[in-house]
């Protein structure tokens, strides 16, 4: 139903919460409808494999999404990685998008999950390599309150991860984090230089976190 606003513009009466009516300017309502229709057209074009639509989608939402993620993440490199992952995940999820919210809200909800995953991996990395034996008491700090993980499951995941690593990575990580040897002691046991031991340990840690985060 249309009505006349105090400023002389026309408005549309919309039924609101618990029967209370809300009056919105006609131009605002029409803009929202136009925006939503444009989003539907863009999504349909992307789903049909239209590369130009995909480029348009990326250019349109990149600045706003970058700002959204940068409020939660400090590192530019990490922001770019999460942004890229969010776009890919959004494209994969577009077939299930029901347009109950704006497309940007949908993208942000996916990006938010990516940010949570990012911090979860950081916590895993920090805790797993602080001291292997101390993992169990710190389980609650790895997972959020909505995530409950049995301690035995985590131990099994860690064992499985070790088995998936290259033997050299498994050996050097166990020397450091299971048996507690220093880098100098590891270098002596493996008959390599201190620098080489540091380098191998760095690569082994990186491999472990990658396998654990995505493979467990």
Which pLDDT score, from 0 to 100, does residue 208 have? 81
Which pLDDT score, from 0 to 100, does residue 125 have? 60
Give 69: exposed, middle or buried? Use CB within 10 Å, 0-12, 13-18, 19+.
buried
**Whether residue 162 has pLDDT greater than 90:** no
Assigned CATH for 34-125:
1.10.1740.10
Give the model confidence (pLDDT) of 84-124 as tens digits: 889 989 988 998 998 888 899 999 999 999 998 888 777 76
How many alpha carbons fall within 13 Å on the CB side of residue 158? 23
- Concatenating the DSSP letter of every residue in 84-107 gives HHHHHHHHHHGGG---SS-HHHHH
Which string of b and e fits 28-58 if b means at least 16 CB within 10 Å?
eeeeeeeeeeebeebbebbeeeeeebeeebe
Predicted confidence band of residue 44 (pLDDT cuts 50, 70, 90): very high
Smallest CA-to-CA distance from 172 within 153, 155, 188 is with 188
Cα separation, 81 vs 69, in Å, equals 10
Top mean-pLDDT range of 149-153, 165-169, 198-202:
165-169
This prediction's pTM: 0.49
CB 100 within 8 A of CB 146: no
Cα separation, 148 vs 145, in Å, equals 7
Top mean-pLDDT range of 22-36, 144-158, 191-205:
191-205
Same fold, 34-125 and 129-215: no
The domains of the chain are located at 34-125, 129-215
Arithmetic mean of pLDDT over the chain: 75
Cα separation, 98 vs 139, in Å, equals 37
Which pLDDT score, from 0 to 100, does residue 107 have? 94
CB 22 within 8 A of CB 11: no
Predicted confidence band of residue 41 (pLDDT cuts 50, 70, 90): very high
CATH T-level topology, domain 129-215: Arc Repressor Mutant, subunit A (1.10.10)
**Whether residue 146 has pLDDT greater than 70:** no
CB 172 within 8 A of CB 190: yes
**Whether residue 17 has pLDDT greater than 60:** no
What DSSP element (H or E) covers 178? none
Which pLDDT score, from 0 to 100, does residue 14 have? 39
Q: Which residue has the higher pLDDT, 91 or 16?
A: 91
Residue 17 DSSP one-character state: G
**Whether residue 153 has pLDDT greater than 80:** no
Cα distances (angstroms) measured from residue 122 to each of 12, 44, 119, 126, 142 = 49, 37, 5, 6, 9
């Amino acid at each position: 139903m249309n009505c006349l606003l105090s400023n002389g513009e026309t408005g549309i009466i919309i039924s609101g919460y618990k029967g209370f009516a809300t009056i919105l300017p006609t131009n605002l309502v029409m803009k929202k409808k136009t925006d939503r229709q444009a989003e539907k057209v863009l999504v349909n074009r992307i789903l049909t494999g239209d590369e130009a639509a995909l480029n348009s989608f990326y250019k349109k939402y990149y600045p706003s999404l970058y700002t959204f993620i940068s409020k939660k993440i400090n590192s530019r490199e990490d922001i770019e990685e999460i942004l890229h992952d969010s776009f890919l995940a959004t494209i994969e999820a577009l077939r299930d998008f029901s347009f109950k919210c704006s497309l940007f809200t949908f993208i942000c909800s996916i990006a938010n999950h990516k940010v949570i995953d990012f911090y979860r991996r950081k916590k895993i990395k920090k805790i797993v390599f602080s001291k292997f034996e101390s993992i169990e008491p710190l389980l609650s700090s790895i997972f959020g309150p909505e995530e409950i993980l049995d301690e035995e499951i985590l131990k099994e995941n860690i064992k499985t991860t070790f088995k998936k690593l290259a033997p050299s990575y498994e050996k050097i990580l166990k020397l450091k984090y299971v048996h507690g040897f220093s880098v100098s002691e590891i270098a002596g046991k493996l008959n390599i230089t201190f620098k080489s031991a540091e380098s191998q340990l760095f690569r082994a840690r990186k491999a472990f976190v990658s396998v654990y985060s995505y493979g467990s």
